[in-house]
Amino acid sequence: MRSNNAGIADNHAPILVTGGAGFIGSNFVLDWLAAGLGPVVNLDKLTYAGNPANLASVEASPDYTFVQGDICDRALVARLLQQHRPRAIVHFAAESHVDRSISGPDAFLRTNIDGTFTLLQAAREYYDALTGSERDGFRFLHVSTDEVYGTLAPDDPAFHEDTPYAPNSPYAASKASSDHLVRAWVHTFGLPAIITNCSNNYGPYQFPEKLIPLMIANARQGKPLPVYGDGQQVRDWLYVIDHCRALRTVLERGRVGETYNVGGGNQRSNLEVVRTLCALLDELVPQSKFRPHIELVQYVTDRPGHDRRYAIDARKLEGELGWRAQESFETGLRKTVEWYLANSGWVENVTSGAYQQWVAQNYSGRKAHATAEAAR
């Protein structure tokens, strides 16, 4: 693939972030602005997982511009590129929840495949018209997932950048498709793009359909903590701010046409995560009438095609660009639990009627098949 590590231009031109009101996107926008790296234009459709309240602290900043819109709207994307002249596009916008992709894959194909195609076409036309340092410094950063690589056996080596793609869910397949599109636009059209594939993120502002915020929200209300299957599915957990810093590093020094895997080096089974969460809640909420929270665990029927293990080999990113995760799983999880406890109003606002309907749809039909006794 092409090799060019000049990095994005060091000027006051903005970056265009897609999906910047979502979990990782909003953390990235906040981190970018806090670091004083220049203006941000945030394009977000504001689906159920996009929340402008995540960015309330910067909405009045002259360096922040929000545009509600769809990445599939090519005319809108082209207009934003011409109006704001960004030095980079950071592409987060995606449907990302495996369970939702099983019950309704259509939205995943539209956003993750068609949306990425539309964005690439607009970026290509914009880039082809650039000259000089603007052209040399422009970057398209495509943020993807480790799920494109499929699943690992317990003793398999971790995913590396040359691991063959083997997606097993509609979500993973749609992200794999988008990765292939980005790669093709580099090779065929010369678009200066870079791909990152990250492990499971956690931290502030994560929508409570994902494991960690779901467990916190349910435990606070004394609701069952649904654990799929035997709970031994292993994931590599990455604190979201570490991920954001990795993305900044890739934008600054990453080589065009390359892929960089981003992992936290924290492999934990889902059951280990839930146990640790319960212990933290016992400690941090000693007055809870639901202590010990581990007794709320309920094993439920596993999701179809549930990948058994993910693990990321991030040595390329660490060796070439000098990035290291700063948070251990224990420190990152404590910060996460403390944030959710301190921001109960945010949780109440996002867990709307539509959210409750989704939870009922996804979990009510899953047969409970064990007690919490085995979780101890």
Which of the pair, 274 or 208, is modelled with greater confidence?
A: 274
Task: Please give the structure tokens belonging to residue 128.
Answer: 């082809």
Look at residue 8 in the predicted model and tell me its pLDDT. Answer: 64
Sequence-ordered list of residues with C-beta below 8 angstroms from that of 189, at least 6 positions apart, any chain:
124
Residue range 72-78: mean pLDDT, rounded:
97
Does the active-site annotation cover 147? yes
CATH number, domain 15-206+239-265+306-327: 3.40.50.720
Which of 95, 147, 209, 236 is labelled catalytic? 147
Q: Please tell me the distance from the alpha carbon of residue 45 to that of residue 67, in angstroms, as a whole number.
A: 8
State the average pLDDT over residues 289-313.
Answer: 92
pLDDT value at residue 368? 60
Residue 358's pLDDT band, with cuts at 50, 70 and 90, is very low
Under 8 Å between Cβ of 148 and 177: no
CA distance 195 to 184: 12
pLDDT at position 98, please?
72
Residue in 95, 146, 318, 327 annotated catalytic: 146
Please state the rounded mean pLDDT for residues 61-88: 97
Picking from 186, 175, 70, the residue whose alpha carbon sits closest to that of residue 127 is 186
> Is the peptide bond preceding residue 292 cis, with omega within 30 degrees of 0?
yes
Known catalytic residue at 228: no
Kindly list the domain boundaries of the chain, sorted by start residue. 15-206+239-265+306-327
- Is the per-residue pLDDT at 182 higher than 60? yes
Q: Are 355 and 208 in contact (CB under 8 A)?
A: yes
Catalytic residue among 64, 149, 171, 228: 171
Confidence class of residue 7 from pLDDT cuts 50, 70 and 90? low
Residue 299 annotated among the catalytic residues of the structure:
no
Task: Compute the mean pLDDT over every residue in the chain, rounded to the nearest whole number.
Answer: 91
In contact, 43 and 113? CB cutoff 8 Å: no
pLDDT band with cut points at 50, 70 and 90 for residue 4: low
- Buried residues in 330-349 as b, exposed as e (16+ CB within 10 A): eebbbebbebbeeeeebbee
Average pLDDT for residues 105-110, to the nearest whole number? 90
Between helix 211-220 and helix 270-284 the angle, nearest 10°, is 40
Q: What is the pLDDT of residue 109?
A: 92
Residue 352: pLDDT over 90: no
Task: Please compute Rg for the chain using Cα positions.
Answer: 20
Using pLDDT thresholds of 50, 70 and 90, give the confidence band for residue 363.
very low
pLDDT band at 36 (very low <50, low <70, confident <90, very high): very high
Q: Tell me what pLDDT residue 97 has.
A: 67
Which tokens in the block code for residue 137?
């410094």
